A and B are shown apart, each in its own frame.
Chain A
Amino acid sequence: MNLHHNKTFAIGGVHPEDQKLSAGVPIAPLPLPKTVTIPILQHIGAPAKIVVQRGDAVKTGQIIATHEGFVSSNIHSSVSGRIGIIEEVMDSSGFKHTAISIRVKGDDWEESIDRSETLVEEIKLTPKEIVARIMEAGVVGMGGAAFPSHVKLSVPEGKHVEYLLINGVECEPYLTADHRLMLEKPKEIIVGIKILMKALGVEKAIIGIEDNKSDAVELFQEVLKNEKGITVEALEVHYPQGGEKQLIQALLNREVPSGGLPADVGAIVHNVGTTFAIYEAVQKNKPLIDRVVTVTGKSVKQPSNFLVRIGTPVIDLLIAAGGVPEDTGKIVSGGPMMGKAIADLDVPIAKGTSGILLIPKEESMRAEVYNCVHCGKCIEACPMGLEPYRLLILSKKGNHERAKEEHILDCIECGSCAFVCPSNRPILDYIRLGKTQVRKLKKV
Chain B
Amino acid sequence: MNSVILYTIISLTAIGIVAAVVIYFVSKKFAVQEDERIGKVEQVLPSTNCGGCGQPGCHAFAKAVVEAGDLSALHCPVGGNAVMKQVAEILGIQAVERDPYIAIVRCSGSFEYRKKTNIYDGESSCKIAATLYSGDTGCAYGCLGMGDCVEVCDFEAMYMDEKTGLPVVIEDKCTACNACVKECPKEILELWPKGKKNQRIYVACLNEEKGSTARKECAVACSGCSKCFEACRYDAITMENNLAHIDFEKCKLCMECVDTCDVHNIITANVTPEKIQAANEQRLKREERTRKKKEEEKLAAAAAKQTSNEPAPQ
Residue positions of A touching B, CB distance < 8 A? 87-88, 90, 93-96, 340-341, 343-344, 365-366, 369, 426, 429-430, 432-433, 436
Establish whether residues B131 and A96, one from each chain, have CB atoms under 8 Å apart when the complex forms.
no
Docked complex: B129-152 residues within 8 A CB-CB of A: 131-134, 136, 140
Known contacts A88-B209, A343-B118, A344-B117; is-contact A430 B132 (Cβ 8 Å): no
Known contacts A95-B140, A343-B117; is-contact A429 B123 (Cβ 8 Å): yes
Establish whether residues B131 and A433, one from each chain, have CB atoms under 8 Å apart when the complex forms.
yes
Establish whether residues B132 and A94, one from each chain, have CB atoms under 8 Å apart when the complex forms.
yes
Q: How far is the CA of A341 from the CA of B117 in the complex (A)?
A: 13
Q: How far is the CB of B131 from chain A (nearest CB, A)?
A: 5
Establish whether residues A426 and B122, one from each chain, have CB atoms under 8 Å apart when the complex forms.
yes
A residues near B127, Cβ cutoff 8 Å:
433
Q: How far is the CA of A365 from the CA of B128 in the complex (A)?
A: 17
Which of B117, B118, B123: most chain A CB closer than 10 A? Answer: B123
Establish whether residues B131 and A90, one from each chain, have CB atoms under 8 Å apart when the complex forms.
no
Q: How far is the CA of A96 from the CA of B142 in the complex (A)?
A: 14
Name the contact of B128 in the complex, choosing from A93, A96, A430 (C-beta under 8 A): A430
Establish whether residues A432 and B131, one from each chain, have CB atoms under 8 Å apart when the complex forms.
yes
Q: How far is the CA of A436 from the CA of B122 in the complex (A)?
A: 18
Main secondary structure of the interface of A (DSSP, over half): mixed
Name the contact of B132 in the complex, choosing from A340, A365, A366 (C-beta under 8 A): A340
B residues near A344, Cβ cutoff 8 Å:
117-118
A residues near B123, Cβ cutoff 8 Å:
369, 426, 429-430
Known contacts A95-B140, A96-B140, A343-B117; is-contact A366 B131 (Cβ 8 Å): no
A residues near B140, Cβ cutoff 8 Å:
95-96
Q: How far is the CA of A340 from the CA of B122 in the complex (A)?
A: 12
Q: How far is the CA of A366 from the CA of B132 in the complex (A)?
A: 15
B121 within 8 A of A: yes
Known contacts A94-B133, A95-B140; is-contact A429 B128 (Cβ 8 Å): yes
A residues near B118, Cβ cutoff 8 Å:
341, 343-344
B residues near A95, Cβ cutoff 8 Å:
133-134, 140
B residues near A90, Cβ cutoff 8 Å:
134
Q: How far is the CB of B188 from chain A (nearest CB, A)?
A: 17
Q: How far is the CA of A351 from the CA of B122 in the complex (A)?
A: 27
Establish whether residues A366 and B122, one from each chain, have CB atoms under 8 Å apart when the complex forms.
yes
A residues near B133, Cβ cutoff 8 Å:
93-95, 340, 343
Given contacts A429-B123, A436-B131, 18 further A-B contacts (CB under 8 A): A88-B209, A90-B134, A93-B133, A94-B132, A94-B134, A95-B134, A95-B140, A96-B134, A341-B118, A343-B117, A343-B118, A344-B118, A426-B122, A426-B128, A429-B125, A430-B128, A432-B128, A433-B125
Q: How far is the CB of A362 from chain B (nearest CB, A)?
A: 13
Q: How far is the CB of A359 from chain B (nearest CB, A)?
A: 12
B residues near A366, Cβ cutoff 8 Å:
121-122
B residues near A340, Cβ cutoff 8 Å:
132-133
A residues near B134, Cβ cutoff 8 Å:
90, 94-96
A residues near B136, Cβ cutoff 8 Å:
343
Q: How far is the CB of A353 from chain B (nearest CB, A)?
A: 16
A residues near B132, Cβ cutoff 8 Å:
94, 340, 429, 432
Q: How far is the CA of A429 from the CA of B127 in the complex (A)?
A: 10
Query: Please, which residue of chain A has its CB at the minimum distance from the CB of B133?
Result: A94
A residues near B125, Cβ cutoff 8 Å:
429, 433
B residues near A369, Cβ cutoff 8 Å:
123
Q: How far is the CB of A86 from chain B (nearest CB, A)?
A: 12
Q: How far is the CA of A288 from the CA of B133 in the complex (A)?
A: 27
Q: How far is the CB of A90 from chain B (nearest CB, A)?
A: 7
Q: How far is the CB of A251 from chain B (nearest CB, A)?
A: 33
Q: How far is the CB of A439 from chain B (nearest CB, A)?
A: 11
Q: How far is the CB of B215 from chain A (nearest CB, A)?
A: 15
Which of B117, B134, B213: most chain A CB closer than 10 A? Answer: B134
By Cβ-Cβ distance, the 5 closest A-B pairs, closest first, are A94-B133, A426-B123, A343-B118, A429-B128, A429-B123
B residues near A343, Cβ cutoff 8 Å:
117-118, 133, 136
Establish whether residues A433 and B128, one from each chain, have CB atoms under 8 Å apart when the complex forms.
yes
Q: How far is the CA of A87 from the CA of B213 in the complex (A)?
A: 10
A and B contact pairs by CB, cutoff 8 A, 10 listed: A95-B133, A96-B134, A340-B132, A341-B118, A343-B117, A429-B122, A429-B123, A429-B128, A429-B131, A433-B125
Q: How far is the CB of A155 from chain B (nearest CB, A)?
A: 32
Contact digits for B167-202, partner A, Cβ 8 Å, 1 yes 0 no: 000000000000000000000000000000000000
Q: How far is the CB of B12 from chain A (nearest CB, A)?
A: 44
Q: How far is the CA of A340 from the CA of B121 in the complex (A)?
A: 13
Q: How far is the CA of A315 from the CA of B213 in the complex (A)?
A: 21
Query: Please, which residue of chain A has its CB at the minimum distance from the CB of B152?
Result: A398
Query: Please, which residue of chain A has its CB at the minimum distance from the CB of B118?
Result: A343
B residues near A430, Cβ cutoff 8 Å:
123, 128
Docked complex: B223-261 residues within 8 A CB-CB of A: none
